[in-house]
Amino acid sequence: MGYMEANVCEKFCRFYKPEQNEPEKCGSYEFLRKNLTKREIVRAADAAPAKPDFSSDDTISEMVCAECAFRVDGCDYRDGVNSTPCGGYAIVSHLLRNSKASP
Ligand code: SF4
């Protein structure tokens, strides 16, 4: 298992199925992988609460969900169905909340 799966998927995502090893990843996985170093991801995953913070939802929708491969078939959370978002959402929302808090 790679560091992304161990720190993002297994730790935060209730949709994660390790035996499937899906080639397509969700938008939050790709966003974190492209924009953060491994060290930053591990640190963020250690610090992020399991429960996502929804105060940056509009920003996450534009920055992360708009690029998500799973949106084609529909993401229950983004489509307004009563569902939690993907696991990486919790980490991205944690990072955005912290970036707003710092001067
Ligand atoms: S919340 Fe849904 S649309 Fe947004 S990145 Fe996660 S899986 Fe994709």
Q: Tens of pLDDT along the chain (103 residues)?
A: 899 999 999 999 988 988 887 888 999 999 999 999 999 999 999 999 999 999 999 999 999 999 999 988 889 999 999 899 999 999 999 999 988 765 5
Q: Would 52 be classed as within a structural domain?
A: yes
Report yes or no: 87 and 11 within 8 Å, Cβ to Cβ.
yes
- Determine, yes or no, domain membership for 93: yes
Has residue 74 been placed in a domain? yes
Distance 102 CA to ligand 1 centre (A): 26
Residue 95 maps to a domain = yes
For the whole model, what pTM was predicted? 0.92
Q: For ligand 1, say whether the CB of 89 is within 6 Å of any of its atoms.
A: yes
Verify whether ligand 1 is closer than 6 Å to residue 75 (CB atom).
Answer: yes
* Residue appearing with tokens 């229950």: 76
CA distance 86 to 4: 14
Query: What is the pLDDT, as a whole number, of residue 102?
Result: 58
- Structural tokens at position 49: 């609460």
Kindly state if the Cβ of 86 falls inside 6 Å of ligand 1. yes
Q: Is the CB of 28 under 6 A from ligand 1?
A: yes
Full residue range of the structural domain in which residue 48 is found: 3-11+24-101
Pocket flag, ligand 1, residue 67 (CB < 6 Å)? no
Q: Is residue 18 part of a domain?
A: no
Q: Are 1 and 9 in contact (CB under 8 A)?
A: no
Closest CA to 44 of 102, 103, 99: 99
Whether residue 17 lies inside any domain: the answer is no
Determine phi and psi for 67, rounding to 5 degrees.
Answer: -100, 5
Number of domains in the chain: 1
Q: What's the half-sphere exposure (Cβ side, CA atoms, 13 Å) at 21?
A: 3
Q: Which atom of ligand 1 is nearest to the CA of 15?
A: 7
Tell me, yes or no, whether 19 lies in a domain: no
CB-CB contact of 10 with 18 (8 Å): yes
